Each structure stands twice: as C-alpha cells, then as structure tokens.
Structure 1
Amino acid sequence: MKHLLTLLLSIVTVLSASAQQTQKPVLHGKNWMAITGKPLAATAGAMTFQKGGNAVDAACAMLAATCTMWDVLSWGGETQALIYNPKTKKVIAINAMGVAPTGATVDFFKSKGFNFPPAYGPLAATTPGTPGGLLYMLANYGTLSLEQVLAPAMEMAAGYPMEAQTANSIERGKERIKEWPYSKKVFLTHLGEDREAPEAGEIFVQKDLLQTLTKLVEAEKAALKKGTSRKAAIMAAYERFYTGDIAKEFVRGSQEQGGLITMQDLAKWKPLEEEPLLVNYKGIDVYKLQQWTQGPALLQALNILENFDLKSMGYNSSKYIHTLYQSMNLAFADRDFYYGDSYFAPQEPMKGLLSKEYAKQRATLIQYDKNNPDIGPGDPYPFEGKVNPYLKLLKERGYELDTTKRNFAPTHDIRNSSSMVEYQDRLWRGTTTVEAADNEGWVVSITPSGGWVPACIAGNTGIGMSQRMQSFVLDPELNPFNVVEPGKRPRVTLTPSMALKDGKPFLSFAVQGGDTQEQNLLQFFLNVVEFGMNVQQAAEAANINTNQLWLSLGGTKTEDRQPKPGHILLHDSTAEAVRNELKKMGYTLSFDDRTSGPINAIYFDWEHESLWGGSSNHGEDYGISW
C-alpha cells in the first residue's frame, strides 16, 4: 500500500510539473527565432533575419548588441558557441576564449599576495576573444556583410536608452570605475553629482566604441573594393582589430593602467573551431564544449543519473533532489580537479571521465539516505587504459571542508551590494546567452561573457577588458590542469548546450550564472526529457543549487573559493515535508524565489515543423520569432 501511494504521488508530481502555468508565454515561430538577454538585442536579431540573414548572422548581431549594452559583458570578453550546420548535419564548437597574456605566471601573481589571479582590473584580463569569435563565425557560416550585421550595434553605440539594470550596476560599481580613467570617462556621465551613473532611459553615447566598430566596417569595405571575397573582407576587419591600429590602442591603454597584454599576445591569438564533446542520454545526443569549459560536467552528471529512475522519484521530491545533488557533486569534484586547456600539457582524461562505466562506478558512491561531504575527484584513468599520475597528489591533498568561510555567490558579485536582493541580482546576471534558429536548419547557442560592469576600458577603444583570469588556479594541488601560464585558456564556467534526437536538432539551450550554469541546464534538460515540460515551463521551473564545489569566480584567497558541503539552495515553494526530509539527510537549507539564472532555449517541433522558444521569467531576457 505504501509503495502504491508513493507511486501515485510521483505520478501526480510529474503531471502537475508538466501542467504548470507560466508567467511568460511560450514563443512560437515557423521561419526563425531570436532569443537573448536584452530586449533591444533580440530586436537586433529580428532585424537581421528581416534583412535575409541566417541564424548565424542573427546570432552575431545579437552578440554585438549585447556587448554594446555592457552590464553582463562587453566587446573585450570571450565567446563560446555551438553551431548546428544543416549542410553537414553536424554540431561544431567555436572556442573564442582569450588567453593569459605575457608575464601572467604563478610567480607573478603570488608575488602580489594572491592565491588566485584578481577578479577586476587590467591584471584580470585575458586577450579579447569576442571580436575574433564573432568575425570568424560570420565569415565562415553567415551570409551577410559585417556592415549589415554590426548596423544595430553601431546605432546603439551612437546612443541608446539605457535600461535601469545596467544604469544601477554602474552606480553601485562607481568607486571601482573611478580607478580607471577611460572607464570613468565612458560610464560616469554625471561625475560629481549624487548619482554619477546614467539614469534609466538616458541616451547613453559611446563615441570611442562607435569609432572602433566603424574601423572594422571600414576595413571590410576597403577589402571589398580591392575585389576580395566576402569572407576575406570580414577577416580584414579581424586583422585590423588584432594587429592594426585598434590593437595598438588597446595594448597601450591596457599597459598604461598596469595590464600585461602585448601586441604579440593579440597577434598570436586565434579563435578555434573544435569538435564538441557529447554523451547519449536515453537516445538523445547532448553536446557541450570541451574541457576548457565546465560543460562536460553536465555530460558526466547525465551519465551518472542515467543509472536511476528519475521520473518515478517525482519532480523535486526529496529523493530526486538528493540524487541530483549527489550526482552534481560527483561531476563538479572531477571538474574542479581534471578540467583545463586541452592545448597545454597535461592532457585531461576526458575519455575516462565521459565513459558510461566510470559513471556507473561513481553512481555507487551515492548514499540513499544522507549527503556525502567527502566526495572528491574520482580516478577516470583506468577507463581509458592508463594509470593516474595524480594518485599521490589526490591522497595528500585532502578536501577543504570548511563550511563557514564561503559565500554562495562569487565575492565580486556582492562587493557593492547593500542588500540580499542586490546580491542575488548580481549573482544571476553575470554573462548572457544567445539562441537563434532558422528554417534552413541553422542553430546557434552562445554563452558570451567578460568585461562586465565595473569594467576597465582599454584606452580610447571603448572596449572593456575581460575579467576571466580569475578562473585560473595558482596551486597545482587544486587543479594541475588549470594552472595559469601565458598563452593558456582558463577553465571557464561558460557553457552553451545543444541536443540532437534522431539526428535532428532537439534542444538548443543556455543560461547565465557562473558555477550554477551547469546545474541549471542539467535540470532544464531533465525537466523537458523526464518530466514532460515545454521549454517555457522548464525555463521557469524551480531549481536546486549545490554549494559543494570550488568557486570559479571571485576572491584572491583560498577561503573565498572553498566548498560548502551539504549546503543547498531551494525554491521558496519547496514543501515542508521535503524540507524536513532533506534536513534529516544532513543538508543545510537556504531558500529564494529565484533558484536559476535566466535560461533561454529553443525546442524543435518536427511533427509540426515549428519552433518553440523559452525565455526566463526574470531579468531582461527576451525572444522574438516569426
């Protein structure tokens, strides 16, 4: 009888989850869909589709527009993308992550008293990746000219009405902004007044950035006049940015303020086209970027969860939450120790980490009745026929289990917050996402970031520098694969996603939110696949967040980054019975009405040959379709 009641309860839970009302409607489209983190940027995507562009063109236009709007990213940051090419019927990965500059060594940062590279300022900057990534994608997979694609962003740089979210971020970060002369010139439009940042709705003009974007278009036009191809003309703009007068001013402005980036650093850096990593979950191929991101952690978690009957547990039941939490912890423990830049030695054991057999072994570590605070990295090497060279290090290292010293949010997110509301606001707003699809079959998922407010602008370029150096470690005992080194990419949290079913696009999805990204995306995917939610329901659904991981962002001291074993964030709506059961399992509970960063997604309805869009019900994320 007890078993029957449990089964009936789980069925009711699943049915109620799939029937939930949403605050925003599902977005339907037949010809194209454009979704991103800002309404004006979504409009830029729609404008580009209306010009006859494909999904790559529209995605690049949205990327350019969001970079121009600051707050969560800018032009000097980094871009990570997955693209489904309908001509080859394959998913490709774009690696436009910048690298550590000349002089960025362990000894350099330790000499300044850091345990991690800094979170802000010129020394936090990797080389800019977004311009190169955008130009590479547009040249190779788009159809329009750079002039056409940059037109909305250039019009915005000439002056657009700033939204309250960005304006208030500038005001909160103004003391740090004043440390950098070029940032102060751009951002503090009312210097010396009580409010020094722009007002909401104020027309925000960026003359220097407009000049930089104009130079890119001029380079394209000059190349076309010489009779070069469309692709070569766009890459002429690329060369002007990374080796020409734009590069010279960027380097000058960076070094003037204490930065390390050199002309050689910019000239040597290139965007890379890569093979994505994937696993199959119950007949669905799920694609992520390689291990220089945290993306494979979602794939590892799916492999582990495949060993459990999640649907029978019921959506967000105590058993489901516990199983999910433990599986994520196992995946993140491996992320924290084994992930890094694959172009540098040592080579990450990804074959072993993503094997189904390794996942089964890891799944056996999950205790059904309590949290395991001692979860650490596993040993994937035997699953690719090798001996783990780090067994001694893992045994000597132990695990930092101090539960009193680390905030849930990266410390940079709460530095200027006067309340818990602002603290959570900053937590969820880091980064943005871009989703685009068209009726030719092109699909694009991007998670760009870097150069967020308060950003240090490099000279008179109008370009804010990245803050991604902070995701390196200085101590190989923490992660021997992610130790800072000139020319190397940090292991980042940025992680677009794509899934194919029966060889055709099934889902394209991404989220913002630092270390919570993979957690939110995992639950979004399971909400659709296991619990029958549509994309909007899944985007709005209550999540859980684990704190039992090493933070990737914020703080230059080890204690700023340490895990909080057993600490879990739950939605305010979590039932009292579920709360009590989790407490009995040893969890420390906290609650909020926002438990996920803004998720944006596209579902492909092949039965009706239409597109379904989902866009978060909080923040500024917005979609347009036709």
Structure 2
Amino acid sequence: MPLDRRELIAAGLTGAFVAALPARALAQSGGRAPDAPRTGSATVAAHRVEVPMPNGGVTAGHPLAAMAGTRMLMRGGTAADAVVAAMAVMNVVEPWASSAGGNGFAACLDRKAGKVHSLAFTGAAPRLLDPQGDPKALDHGPKALAVPGAFGGWIALARRFGKLPLSTLLEPAIGYARDGHPLDASIANFITRARKTLALYPTSAAIFLPGGEPPAPRSLFRNPDLAKTFQALADAETAALKGGLDRDRALQAAYDYFYTGPIAQEFARFSTKTGGWLRLDDLKAYQPRWSDPVTTNYRGLDVHASPLTSRTGLELCEQLNLVEGFDLATLPTDGPQLTHLLIEAIKVAKADVYRYAADPAFAKVPVDMLLSKAFAAQRRKLIDPAKAGVYPEGARIAGFDQATWRSRDEDRTRGGDTTSLSAVDADGNAIAVTTTVGGGFGTFLVMGDTGILFNNGLRVGSSAPYAGHPNAVAPGKIALLGNGPTIVLDKGRLKLVFGSPGGETIGQTQFQFLVNVVDRGMSIQAAIEAPRFALDADPNFYKAGAAITVQAEGRFADPVLQGLGAMGHRVEQVGPYAIGSVQGILVDASGARMGGADPRRMGYAVGF
C-alpha cells in the first residue's frame, strides 16, 4: 500500500530515505502521486502540522498574534519582544480572554544565564473593597475590578529581556484595532452569548454591540478607543526617547502613563463615577513581581512553573510527584489504568493546594512541603490503583492550621477564561505567558474611553467562597490565578516551553500534556491533540467530599470510558475537542525546535 501523503511529507522525500522507498511509493503522477486522492488516509493524525522554528517562532491562541510575535523576531527582537507584541494583538483579536487590563504569569528562560525566572503581573483587590459585600457583585460590573496587571507585565518583560521599542511592539495591535480585522466566528459567538451582560454597560456595548447587535462572523471588528490608548502609550515612550532618556527609562515613562498618568486617571475617574472601588492610589501601588518559579524534577527533567499567587504551579508539581511512583510508560493507552491514575493524582493535589494556596503576603503557605517528594509519597497512599477514591480532605500540615471556614451564601465557583502563548528566539531564550481577564469578558465593563476591559479577578473561584479561608477576598489581597506557564529543562537545556488556558482545567490539561510527552514519548502536536479529560467538582475543589465528574472528550476509546465507569468514576462525555488549548515548543535530541498549536481553539504556530 502506498505511503500516505502526510507520511511522505513528514518523512521528507530526500537522500537515503528516497533510495530506501519502494518504487511504488515514488510515483510523481497518476493515482500514486503524493497529492492524488487515492493516497489520502481515512483519518487525520493531527489537525495542525508541527512548525519548525530554526531561527525562532511563536505559538499563540490566534494566527494574527503568532504572526505579530514572529514579525518582532524577524526584526531582530527577542522572545520577550515577541510575546509582548503577541499579547497586545490578543487584546484586540480575543478580547473575551485577553486585555492590557488583565492579569497573568510568564515563565522566562534566560539561556545565557541558564536560569528560569517567573514574572507575576497580577493586581490586588482595591483598598476600598468591602469583603462583606455581595459575592455576586464581584462577577461583573464596577465592583468586580481588580487592579490591572497585564500592561505592567508587558513593560517588565520588555525592560528586562527585550530590545525593540514599545512603539514597534504595539504597532500590529494598533493597526488591527484601528483598521479592523476579520472577527473569528468563535469570538462572534462569544459576543452573542454575552450580549445581555455587555448591553448593561454603554462603553462596552459601543464596541462589542455596534448598532445594538453583535458583529457578524468574519466582519471587520474595530476598537478605535483601544487603538488610541495603545498609540498614546507608544507616544509616551517616543517622547521620552526624544527627550534624551534611554530605552529603559522610556519604557518606564509608558508604564507611568498607564499607572499614574492620563490613563490611570481615566480609570479612577470612571470607577468612581460608576460606583466602583478602584482609585488612583491602587494603580500607583501596583508593581509586577519577579521571583523564582516553583520546581520539581520529573523522571530526570526539571519542571519550572509559576509560584504563588498561581495555584497551578503547585498543582502541576505535586501531580507529577504523585504519579512518579507509577510506571506510566508501561500502561496500555487503550485501557483505563493510565487515565485512572492521572484522575486520582489530580484529586489529591487539588485537595492539598486548594486548602492552603493564597497570597503569601496574607497567609503562611507550606510551599516546600507541597513540592516535597516525601510528602507526595505519603499522599500517594490515598490512590487506589483499582478504584476511584472520594475527593479527599487536604493534608493537615503542622504549623499551618487554619480557622474554620464559614460559607457565604453560595459556594459554587465561577469559571475563568484565559489565553496562552510561547516563544523562542534565535539565541535560545524562551518565554511562555498565560494571561487572563478572569471570567469571559472579565468585568464586562470597558473603562471609560480607553477601550480596555478589566479583569474580574476577585470573583468566587479566584477567591475562596469561605470566610476564614486564607484565600478569602480582602482589600489589597491578590486572588489566585490558575495561570501556569511552564518551562522544562533537560540537564540545563531547553526541552519544552508551554502553557494552556482553561480556568480550573489548566493544571489538569498541562499535567496530561506533559505525561504525553515524557511518559508516552509523543511529538509536540500529538501530545497536544491527544484526548483529554477534566475533573469538575460540585460545589468546588475547596470542599472535601465534593462530587467529582470526569468530563472526558468524546475521542476516548470506549474501553477506557467503560473501564473508568467500572472503577467507580462518574464520567460525562463532552465534545471531541473541548478541554484546554496548549501552545508549546518542544526541542528534540537533535536540537530541532518544533512548535505545536491546539486545534481546540484558534491556536496557531509560526516559525522562521
């Protein structure tokens, strides 16, 4: 039987490989040609091709963002320049999940120094917040605002690891916001679904419901106010450069324009006018924070993920430590055992992390214990290899006792909506960023005439629904994110850079993806596209004994699903491509860098 055209293309028709092929595989015309109908396979192994990145590249949640980042690399920029340009474009093309007024984390490999750094660009609750207020007011509207962290993160990345001016980095986003871009059908659908809430706020309706109606798929979508805001930030930098300031201080001038200058003043004015808590002092007090990532070693690889105030880094590391005690590589993929062990590890890790994780400025958190191999060995005893366990209580760790939690009205958590992108540059530096506006469209409130949506990072989910919990909402406290961009090193060399959106599912998605690469030996695109599951907890992951449902993508083999049911799992089939959206870059043993993007959303990789 002739080789499938994808196999021919993937293998490459050159050199010794061609000589080794049977003659019938070499037909260049007729029914056996590589592009002839009869050579096509019945199924497609992958919906995206792996993208080679010999000189660098970007994989992002939208093609225009990936291309914008790659344009920066082609102009001599760094991975930092690429991700800043890509994030700015994501603000325009995926506004329900991305914004300069959002929050997020970045994981950054400085190749020359051989060190991974974590950047948190997460804003705190306003100091005037009333923690006894109605939790539903934190879902959307003026009281749901957390301090915007994302733009500060863009500047921090550009200052520490970038080369290009901010005006260059913002140029693609300004053009798409000013002149328009064809609105993806999925984004048009999100706007339609959110129209009732968007219509509550005139500044939002003016952008997202022009003429009172949601924009049609593939219609030209514009945000002229955002274009003006981005241009004003670029102009602030340009004016500083013309005034004799160096690049670093010029970038700081743009930062100041956003957090203390005219844009900050508009944010504060609009918040006060609409009954919100945000004030100019909250914006002035904000700073992005550089720190060391949380780390573990998994089967000889060093995994670096986001520290507090992300819960996902702790989740991912503990999950890996738990399953390291099982020989996953020997388990059949057409049976339930592998998936069962991953499910049980997620339960244990979530119980531990949700018990303790909080803003370390407000709570004592046993980070070292949660990352410990010895702790994982003890907690692994909760995993029955043959039977589903109940959702456990988080471990009781001496010295970290907590007060009794008291429920407030309702304790069902709200979901989150995020986006992730990864980049490598010609020098081997790598950055993964996961950024969010909280729930879809964040606060749903465009701040005055800026064109910027803020994040609703105070909502139940990011904050605990229980008074007395260390993650309960409070003035000045940073609520938790699920964002967990991750870098994996093999003996100090880059192996993998990746991240995923998905709210509560981020840690679960990234865990399964990493097991696919490390234990199952999958290529980057195969690991991304493999079927995934996600646990849902009723009422939430804070509460021991919560009812757990395993949401499984419809592509799982029937024996896997049936076996999970027989082991006591409650399984619900969902869409075939429904959970998470990994964007990542894998470096193989030869040093080749291959980018992968997730077909579950609009993910796309671009290399050169």
TM-score band by shorter chain is 0.7 to 0.9
CA deviation string 1:572-618 (max 9, x = no partner): 233333333322222111112125211111011352x3211111122
Q: Give the equivalent residue in structure 2 for 1:304.
A: 322
Mapped contact 1:615–1:623 kept (Cα < 8 A): yes
Please give the alpha-carbon distance, in whole angstroms, between the structure 1 residues aligned to 2:495 and 2:177: 36
Q: Give the equivalent residue in structure 2 for 1:134.
A: 154
Please give the alpha-carbon distance, in whole angstroms, between the structure 2 residues aligned to 1:521 and 1:474: 26
* Equivalent of 1:581 in 546, 563, 566: 563
Q: Give the equivalent residue in structure 1 for 2:493.
A: 504
- Counterpart of 1:436 in structure 2: which amino acid? A
Please give the alpha-carbon distance, in whole angstroms, between the structure 1 residues aligned to 2:200 and 2:544: 29
Distance 1:549 1:96, change over 3 A: farther
- Counterpart of 2:187 in structure 1: which amino acid? T
Q: If the length of structure 1 is used for normalisation, what is the TM-score?
A: 0.85
* Equivalent of 1:612 in 566, 591, 594: 594
- Once structures 1 and 2 are overlaid, which stretch shifts more, 50-59 or 525-534? 50-59
**Offset at residue 20 of structure 1 (A):** 8.8
Q: Give the equivalent residue in structure 2 for 1:118.
A: 138
Mapped contact 1:550–1:562 kept (Cα < 8 A): no
SS in 2 for 1:445: strand
1:204 aligned onto 2:221:
yes
Q: Give the equivalent residue in structure 2 for 1:521.
A: 510
SS in 1 for 2:466: coil
- Counterpart of 1:186 in structure 2: which amino acid? I
Q: Give the equivalent residue in structure 2 for 1:146.
A: 166
Q: Give the equivalent residue in structure 1 for 2:389.
A: 372
Please give the alpha-carbon distance, in whole angstroms, between the structure 1 residues aligned to 2:226 and 2:507: 33
SS in 2 for 1:325: helix
Q: Give the equivalent residue in structure 2 for 1:420.
A: none
- Once structures 1 and 2 are overlaid, which stretch shifts more, 271-280 or 221-230? 221-230
**Offset at residue 564 of structure 1 (A):** 4.7
Please give the alpha-carbon distance, in whole angstroms, between the structure 2 residues aligned to 1:562 and 1:204: 46
Mapped contact 2:540–2:546 kept (Cα < 8 A): no
Q: Give the equivalent residue in structure 2 for 1:92.
A: 117
Please give the alpha-carbon distance, in whole angstroms, between the structure 2 residues aligned to 1:85 and 1:56: 10
Q: Give the equivalent residue in structure 2 for 1:450.
A: 437
- Once structures 1 and 2 are overlaid, which stretch shifts more, 248-257 or 24-33? 248-257
Mapped contact 1:119–1:412 kept (Cα < 8 A): no
Distance 1:20 1:332, change over 3 A: farther
- Counterpart of 1:56 in structure 2: which amino acid? A
**Offset at residue 27 of structure 1 (A):** 1.1
**Offset at residue 170 of structure 1 (A):** 1.5
Q: Give the equivalent residue in structure 1 for 2:256.
A: 239
**Offset at residue 474 of structure 1 (A):** 4.8
Distance 1:363 1:283, change over 3 A: same
Please give the alpha-carbon distance, in whole angstroms, between the structure 1 residues aligned to 2:319 and 2:61: 27
Please give the alpha-carbon distance, in whole angstroms, between the structure 2 residues aligned to 1:274 and 1:601: 22
* Equivalent of 1:48 in 48, 54, 72: 72
Please give the alpha-carbon distance, in whole angstroms, between the structure 2 residues aligned to 1:575 and 1:204: 41
Mapped contact 1:57–1:138 kept (Cα < 8 A): yes
CA deviation string 1:104-131 (max 9, x = no partner): 2322x2xx3x3x7622222222111111
Please give the alpha-carbon distance, in whole angstroms, between the structure 1 residues aligned to 2:250 and 2:286: 19
Correspondence 1:551-570 to 2 at 5 A: 551=540, 564-570=546-552
Please give the alpha-carbon distance, in whole angstroms, between the structure 2 residues aligned to 1:225 and 1:491: 40
Mapped contact 2:178–2:224 kept (Cα < 8 A): yes
- Once structures 1 and 2 are overlaid, which stretch shifts more, 499-508 or 218-227? 218-227
CA RMSD of aligned residues (A): 2.4
* Equivalent of 1:169 in 164, 183, 190: 190
Distance 1:356 1:578, change over 3 A: same
Please give the alpha-carbon distance, in whole angstroms, between the structure 1 residues aligned to 2:131 and 2:217: 42
Distance 1:204 1:572, change over 3 A: closer
Aligned residues: 557
Please give the alpha-carbon distance, in whole angstroms, between the structure 2 residues aligned to 1:601 and 1:308: 26
Q: Give the equivalent residue in structure 2 for 1:622.
A: 604
Distance 1:86 1:550, change over 3 A: farther
Mapped contact 2:391–2:544 kept (Cα < 8 A): no
CA deviation string 1:283-316 (max 9, x = no partner): 1010111121122101001111111111122236
Correspondence 1:395-414 to 2 at 5 A: none
SS in 2 for 1:547: strand
* Equivalent of 1:438 in 410, 422, 425: 425
1:24 aligned onto 2:48:
yes
- Counterpart of 2:145 in structure 1: which amino acid? A
Mapped contact 1:136–1:235 kept (Cα < 8 A): no
Please give the alpha-carbon distance, in whole angstroms, between the structure 2 residues aligned to 1:567 and 1:459: 41
Distance 1:267 1:176, change over 3 A: same
**Offset at residue 550 of structure 1 (A):** 6.1
1:105 aligned onto 2:126:
no
Larger relative contact order, structure 1 or 2 (CA cutoff 8 Å, min sep 6): 1
Distance 1:573 1:219, change over 3 A: closer
- Counterpart of 1:328 in structure 2: which amino acid? I
**Offset at residue 266 of structure 1 (A):** 0.1
Q: Give the equivalent residue in structure 1 for 2:82.
A: 58
Mapped contact 1:180–1:257 kept (Cα < 8 A): no
CA deviation string 1:408-446 (max 9, x = no partner): xx6568xxxxxxxxxxxxxxxx21111100120110100
Please give the alpha-carbon distance, in whole angstroms, between the structure 1 residues aligned to 2:605 and 2:522: 19
Q: Give the equivalent residue in structure 2 for 1:71.
A: 96
**Offset at residue 154 of structure 1 (A):** 0.8
- Counterpart of 2:120 in structure 1: which amino acid? N
1:327 aligned onto 2:345:
yes
CA deviation string 1:184-230 (max 9, x = no partner): 12211122xxxx01222322222221221111111111111221110
Correspondence 1:534-549 to 2 at 5 A: 534-548=523-537
Mapped contact 2:577–2:599 kept (Cα < 8 A): no
Q: Give the equivalent residue in structure 1 for 2:304.
A: 287
- Counterpart of 2:161 in structure 1: which amino acid? Y
* Equivalent of 2:360 in 342, 356, 361: 342
Mapped contact 2:166–2:234 kept (Cα < 8 A): yes
Q: Give the equivalent residue in structure 1 for 2:401.
A: 389
1:189 aligned onto 2:206:
no
Q: What are structure 2's unaligned runs of at least 5 residues? A: 1-42
Distance 1:117 1:489, change over 3 A: farther
Alignment identity in percent? 30
Mapped contact 2:366–2:400 kept (Cα < 8 A): no
Q: Give the equivalent residue in structure 2 for 1:601.
A: 584
Distance 1:533 1:140, change over 3 A: same
